[in-house]
Structure 1
Amino acid sequence: MQMKSHISKVSQATRKWLQPYNQSLKKAIDKTVEEGLFSFEDIKFQIRTLKQKVDSGQIEEWAKRAELSEIKNSVGQKVLCLHAGNLPLVGFQDALGTILSGADYYGKLSKKDPYLLSGFLKMMDEAHLDNQIQYSTELADFKDLQADKVLFAGSEESVDPVKEKLFKLNAVNDNTEFVIRTAKFSIAYLDNEEPDTLRDMIEAVFRYGGKGCRSVAVIVSPFTLSKVKCHFTDYVEEFWLNNPQLKKPKENLVYQFAFNKAIERDQAWLDDFLVQETDDFPDQEFVLNWVVGDHDKVKELKSRFGNSVQTVYRTGESIDGIKTEFLSNAQTPDLWWEPDGIGVIDSLLR
């Protein structure tokens, strides 16, 4: 495989797929919205973000960072990607990285996001690349695959059942390497109340209804919730006006609100989201935990929550002793960002 030509073909096909005139992408978006899988606003945000990254040359830059060449590549490897479906196109990075590396791509698409990613893969298939590209929403279609590697993102509880199914199907064997990512949420340190900072925070918390491991579920701040509550809710309303939340919380959120009220815990009820002042582990959807504290508190929570934390964001100075990213990049990561600290292409080159 001529890697330079391969990288160029992948880049050109991805750019073509993201063009506004691509009718198949438009149909995939329409179908996804019609079936209530994701909101039009969230899909538009994701596609616009990807287009900006791709148009700025990030596919070529990713290949350069991974040092892909005729010598260093994943050509000949069979890689099975088990894609999640909690966000629109959440599997795009794994799919792109696998194909870019030169590996043969086998993708189990989520039934919660079957149209968007399949359109991208169809475009890749039509680019006449040298690697195999096969995909399905049915795991059984990968029977007897004997994959060399499996890329999987999900909860720790789901890892063993997934492995069991794969072995039963003979899709993997004892030599298959599993690259598993299980982080659930991110933490942000908010040290100012500037309008741009609050807007970045709202985007990081409420985009996609708070789903996704890069979404912020815990905010640590020197300010109490009661101090910023009114200011904060104004920005939430502004965000929701332009980005209505598609999925709604279950009624157990009402019980949590009642519980907080009973124990006199400060909170803000936002109809479809609950903000509460606590440093408990965030184990409910549509809930943001607000913690009063400093850098030391951030480090304590990251240590306590362990591998469940994907990223720690900051709005100002870096935090000694832990790796951080700017809050403004929470929902717009570079193509080569590393889920659970594991680079997609790097994991395939090992």
Structure 2
Amino acid sequence: MLQIDKKKCFIELGKFLSQFSLDNNRKNEAVLHNDLYFDRFVDLIHLSQSHNGWFTPEQVYFSVQSWANALTDENLNKWLSAYNFSNVTTKTVGLILAGNIPLVGFHDFLSVLISGHKVLVKTSSNDQHLIKFLANYLMAVNPDFEKYITFTDGKLENFDAVIATGSNNTARYFEYYFKDKPSIIRKNRNSVAVLTGDETKEDLINLGEDIFRYFGLGCRNVSKLFVPKDYDFKAFFEAIYEYKDVIYYEKYSNNYDYNKAVFLMSNFKLLDNEFLTLKEDSSYASPISSVFYEYYDDIEVLKSQLKNDAEQIQCIVSNDIVENSIPFGKTQKPELWDYADNVDTIQFLMQL
């Protein structure tokens, strides 16, 4: 199966996904296999919350639309043009996927297939259905994919390399278990925002998107703010008030109540707007419904700190304060060439 054929199939998948949005599922008669897959996908989106309570229709639709926007001829060409695939020998690559946000492992799935390899997928128990549905759609577009895509419920066997995503604890297990195989092992990471106090209201509203999208469960969600001494959080709280309805979601609300109670019983000083707590803390990983903050005196010193802590950080958000930072509101809209942990997955796969 040639790469150009695979690319065409993913473009067709992008067209299929483009029909679905929270406001309106609009069926396009020109899209392949809608008779079999359109209604089933709508049903699956709305059933996803019963499979994983965090996968509300709003969050699943957002992920679906993100992939619809990514899987275009222009984006795929821009991404793949940087590589020469002529010497790739087909191998079987095992994937152990996370399940914290909808379709979180799809980029690895796409990367393995588009680079010429076969994929052996072990899904997370928290996200078992969405990626399998998209795989079935690809196989309907081109049955040759059946030779390249396998899912397993047991342990991975008969593979040549592995990409595994998990916590810091599971990563140690992965590193031991897969020590004799080429691998990418992903651990816990968090994202941060660097503020100066000169941000516009729009910047801070967009920062709210970086904090609250997927309820803050993703590694690209901002969980830590760096602010200058004497920073006034009033403008921040006024801007993120747009996201106040998050507290009406029971799972989020339960986390807010629990984590706030734990902080207060420990006599921690909190800033609170009744749906988000801010706590001064040097750590990067804040619990759901809370964001940590830390003051800085010198931006150059902060840049050095962020560089030293790079292995703990997925994204840095700022108004170009920090090199290679991401604009406010863009953390959950990565391009195909924005690799997790800054590890070039395609380059890894080409060298197998």
Shorter chain as denominator, the TM-score bin is 0.7 to 0.9
Match of 2:222 in 1: 216
Hey, what's the Cα distance between the residues in 2 that align with 1:6 and 1:129? 9
State how many pairs are aligned: 327
Indicate yes or no: 2:192 matched with 1:180.
no
Q: Any residues of structure 2 matched to 1:5-84 within 5 Å, and which? A: 5-20=5-20, 21=27, 22-35=38-51, 36-55=53-72, 57-68=74-85, 71-73=86-88, 75-84=89-98
Partners of 2:17 and 2:67 within 8 A in 1 = no
Any idea what SS the aligned residue of 1:348 has?
helix
Match of 1:299 in 2: 303
User: C-alpha displacement at 1:300, in angstroms?
Assistant: 4.3
Task: Go from structure 1 to structure 2 and tell me whether the alpha carbon gap of 1:17 and 1:125 turns closer, same or farther (over 3 Å shift).
Answer: farther
Match of 2:343 in 1: 342
Match of 1:123 in 2: 137
1:27-77 deviations in Å (ceiling 9; x for gaps): 221110234241221112211222122247322322223334xx143x521
Partners of 1:46 and 1:88 within 8 A in 2 = yes
**Which of 134, 149, 164 matches 1:152?**
164
Hey, what's the Cα distance between the residues in 1 that align with 2:124 and 2:304? 35
**Which of 207, 210, 214 matches 2:213?**
207
Partners of 1:189 and 1:298 within 8 A in 2 = no
Any gaps of 5 or more consecutive residues in structure 2? 21-26, 28-37
Any idea what SS the aligned residue of 2:317 has?
strand
User: C-alpha displacement at 1:347, in angstroms?
Assistant: 1.6
Q: Any residues of structure 2 matched to 1:91-106 within 5 Å, and which? A: 91-106=105-120
Partners of 2:317 and 2:328 within 8 A in 1 = yes
Hey, what's the Cα distance between the residues in 2 that align with 1:280 and 1:162? 25
Hey, what's the Cα distance between the residues in 1 that align with 2:247 and 2:7? 35
Partners of 1:183 and 1:340 within 8 A in 2 = no
Q: Percent of aligned pairs with the same residue?
A: 20
Hey, what's the Cα distance between the residues in 2 that align with 1:150 and 1:213? 20
1:140-170 deviations in Å (ceiling 9; x for gaps): 3x4xx32111111222211233456xx5xxx
Hey, what's the Cα distance between the residues in 1 that align with 2:39 and 2:78? 28
Any idea what SS the aligned residue of 2:346 has?
helix
User: C-alpha displacement at 1:213, in angstroms?
Assistant: 1.2
User: C-alpha displacement at 1:297, in angstroms?
Assistant: 4.6
Hey, what's the Cα distance between the residues in 2 that align with 1:97 and 1:240? 37
- Please report the TM-score for the alignment, with normalisation by the length of structure 1: 0.83
Partners of 1:84 and 1:110 within 8 A in 2 = yes
Task: Go from structure 1 to structure 2 and tell me whether the alpha carbon gap of 1:260 and 1:173 turns closer, same or farther (over 3 Å shift).
Answer: closer
Query: Larger RCO: Structure 1 or Structure 2 (Cα < 8 Å, ≥ 6 residues apart)?
Result: 1
Hey, what's the Cα distance between the residues in 1 that align with 2:344 and 2:40? 30
Indicate yes or no: 2:257 matched with 1:256.
no
Hey, what's the Cα distance between the residues in 1 that align with 2:72 and 2:273? 37
**Which of 187, 202, 211 matches 1:196?**
202
Any idea what SS the aligned residue of 1:58 has?
helix
Match of 1:239 in 2: 243
1:267-317 deviations in Å (ceiling 9; x for gaps): 3224453212333443534321122225235324424544111122212x3
- Please report the TM-score for the alignment, with normalisation by the length of structure 2: 0.83
Task: Go from structure 1 to structure 2 and tell me whether the alpha carbon gap of 1:346 and 1:327 turns closer, same or farther (over 3 Å shift).
Answer: farther
Any idea what SS the aligned residue of 2:81 has?
helix
User: C-alpha displacement at 1:243, in angstroms?
Assistant: 9.0
Match of 1:302, as an amino acid? L
1:296-340 deviations in Å (ceiling 9; x for gaps): 35324424544111122212x343xx5322233211110221111
Partners of 1:53 and 1:335 within 8 A in 2 = yes
Partners of 2:191 and 2:221 within 8 A in 1 = yes
Partners of 1:150 and 1:179 within 8 A in 2 = yes
Any idea what SS the aligned residue of 2:285 has?
coil
Task: Go from structure 1 to structure 2 and tell me whether the alpha carbon gap of 1:11 and 1:196 turns closer, same or farther (over 3 Å shift).
Answer: same
